[in-house]
Amino acid sequence: MVARSIFVRTALGFALFTASLTSVVPLDNAYARALPAQTAPLTLSAVKVEGNKAVSTEDILRAFGHQPGDHVTQDDLKASQQRVADLYSQRNIGGSLGEQMKIKGASVMVTLLIGEQSAHPAATGQQLVLDQVEFKGNTRIPTEALAAVTHLRPGGAVSDKSVVTDESAIQSAYKSKNLAVRIQPVATYPNHDHHVVLTWQIDENPSPAK
């Protein structure tokens, strides 16, 4: 199995629905030695959805945007995954999304693996409280240095505006060292209430924009 991690930016508001893992499973041993490039055309043979309850399969497939028989690339499928994540964010439902791609020859089967949380507490107007802040993926700038330029601290209130402000501060820290970076704030709710753990997922080797 060849696995790659991707992070999908969704709307803020902490109704974050994150794409955590995409697995590429070659179904042909010979083909496993030469997996197609991200932009190589494949024929979509099937799309399955597992784990969804709050959002109908029909709505998810509509957001996904591709049907069996369509010609797609792995990049197209990544964009489809983001649209599904955006659908959940628009409905204030948090959770996680894994996309498994089973490739054989020039065809691909896709399974969307969905883990849903209940509607986000922010939708009720309740103030969110930050329990913990984590930095992951940073090697070129120490965690202590990133913490020093940001303002969100455990025990304090957290909002869209404060997250955007701290994200800009992290961007500026990397820019000052002439380093490229992609930043993804990920909010989780360990107790399924208004207490938040904020993780800054940092990619110090972002792919160039197309």
Tokens describing residue 117: 């949380």
Residues with Cβ within 8 Å of residue 67, at least 6 apart in sequence: 44, 47, 61
Residue 118's pLDDT is what? 54
Residues with Cβ within 8 Å of residue 78, at least 6 apart in sequence: 6, 22, 99
Residue 120's pLDDT is what? 52
| Full-model pTM | 0.50
CA distance 99 to 102: 10
Residue 35's pLDDT is what? 62
Residue 210's pLDDT is what? 41
Spell out the alpha helix ranges (H) of 16-154. 29-32, 57-64, 74-90, 143-149
Tokens describing residue 68: 């069996």
Class in CATH terms, 127-203: alpha beta
Residue 184's pLDDT is what? 80
Helix (H) or strand (E) holding 164: helix 160-175
pLDDT tens, N- to C-terminus, the chain (210 residues): 332 222 222 333 334 454 443 444 444 444 444 566 778 899 999 999 998 888 899 999 999 999 999 999 988 988 898 888 888 877 777 777 777 888 888 888 998 888 776 555 554 556 788 999 999 999 999 999 999 999 999 999 988 788 889 989 999 999 999 998 888 888 877 777 788 889 898 989 876 544
CA distance 76 to 90: 21
CA distance 105 to 26: 9
Which of 168, 189, 184 is closest to 126 using CA atoms?
189
CA distance 90 to 203: 25
Helix (H) or strand (E) holding 116: strand 107-119
Residue 45's pLDDT is what? 95
Residue 121's pLDDT is what? 53
**Could you identify the residue written with the tokens 């994540």?**
85
Residue 133's pLDDT is what? 95
Residues with Cβ within 8 Å of residue 36, at least 6 apart in sequence: 42, 74, 103, 106
Residue 134's pLDDT is what? 95
Would you say 110 and 44 are in contact if contact means Cβ atoms under 8 Å apart? yes
CATH 3.10.20.310 fits 2-117, yes or no: yes
CA distance 31 to 104: 7
Task: Return residue ranges of the chain for CATH 3.10.20.310.
Answer: 2-117, 127-203
